[in-house]
């Protein structure tokens, strides 16, 4: 098929522009992109250059610098941040949540709803897994949950609660029946998380390097599979912020591939990749 007005060949990414892009990603998202990531950067940003009809990455950097709205910066970070997740990932944490964490919190919560924050929620599988875990307890607790991510693209998907059937096929049949609605007609091949689960979750864009969520501290924070992309100094900033937003006696979950051993904090290790803030903290 002939094309007019477009060069579909990849635009070359020079060393200077690569350094500029890498510096901006590290400043805004805390992620270090090495020169080995050049092919990934080109693959991810080609669409932006074509949409803006730009012929060089230098021109694209000028667009980013002149973007006072922040919209193009959001698109830039959306393109370069990785979002991979699935339901009940590292399921031991959800077992610990139901068997130990919630019962312990209930001893001191004075009957109020639990406050939870899923701080790197990606496309929603993690916050919905948390919600399913709580709903399936013998005596389900009342809770509110904030789910946040840097990427507005994945937040939109998460808030919709709609997934392909292959994304939920590994879930037990009874879980699917309780917590999902199967699409029919034009929605065939899709499944949607039930309204009962969706109504307790609020989605919001939050950059963990620039701000916290504000408001009341949280009883439980999940921040998993994001700090693996950060160098130690950035990890320290994020952990300090998370600890500040934990209520006394609150719990922090990180990924099993992550460790807090290299950063300073006042949290107590309670299980692999699970920590608790002292009650007098």
Catalytic residue list? 44, 149
E-strand stretches of the chain: 114-118, 143-149, 162-164, 180-182, 190-193, 201-205, 218-222, 246-253, 268-271, 274-276
CA distance 41 to 56: 13
CA distance 226 to 207: 12
Where do we find the tokens 């992309």? Answer: 229
CA distance 12 to 3: 20
- Residue 187 has a CB neighbour count (10 Å cut-off) of 12
On whether the CB atoms of residues 238 and 225 are closer than 8 A, the answer is no
On whether the CB atoms of residues 121 and 148 are closer than 8 A, the answer is yes
On whether the CB atoms of residues 252 and 244 are closer than 8 A, the answer is no
């Amino acid at each position: 098929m002939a094309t007019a007005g477009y060069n579909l060949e990849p635009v070359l990414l020079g060393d200077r522009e690569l350094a500029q892009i890498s510096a901006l990603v590290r400043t805004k998202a805390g992620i270090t992109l090495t020169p080995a990531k050049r092919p990934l950067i080109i693959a991810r940003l080609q669409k932006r250059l074509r949409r803006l009809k730009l012929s060089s990455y230098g021109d694209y950097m000028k667009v980013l610098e002149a973007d006072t709205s922040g919209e193009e910066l959001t698109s830039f970070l959306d393109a370069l941040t990785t979002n991979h997740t699935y339901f009940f990932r590292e399921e031991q944490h959800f077992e610990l949540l139901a068997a130990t964490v919630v019962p312990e919190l209930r001893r001191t919560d004075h009957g109020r709803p639990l406050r939870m924050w899923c701080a790197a929620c990606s496309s929603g599988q993690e916050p919905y897994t948390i919600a399913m875990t709580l709903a399936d307890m013998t005596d389900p607790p009342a809770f509110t949950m904030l789910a946040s991510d840097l990427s507005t693209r994945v937040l939109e998907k998460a808030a919709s609660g709609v997934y392909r059937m292959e994304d939920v096929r590994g879930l037990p049949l009874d879980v699917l029946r309780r917590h999902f609605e199967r699409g029919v007609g034009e929605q065939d091949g899709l499944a949607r998380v039930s309204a009962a689960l969706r109504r307790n979750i609020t989605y919001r864009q939050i950059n963990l390097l620039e701000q916290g969520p504000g408001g009341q501290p949280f009883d439980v924070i999940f921040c998993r599979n994001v700090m693996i992309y950060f160098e130690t100094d950035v990890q320290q900033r994020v952990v300090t912020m998370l600890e500040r937003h934990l209520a006394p006696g609150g719990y922090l979950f990180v990924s099993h591939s992550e460790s807090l051993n290299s950063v300073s904090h006042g949290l107590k290790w309670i299980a692999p990749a699970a920590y608790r803030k002292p009650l007098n903290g």
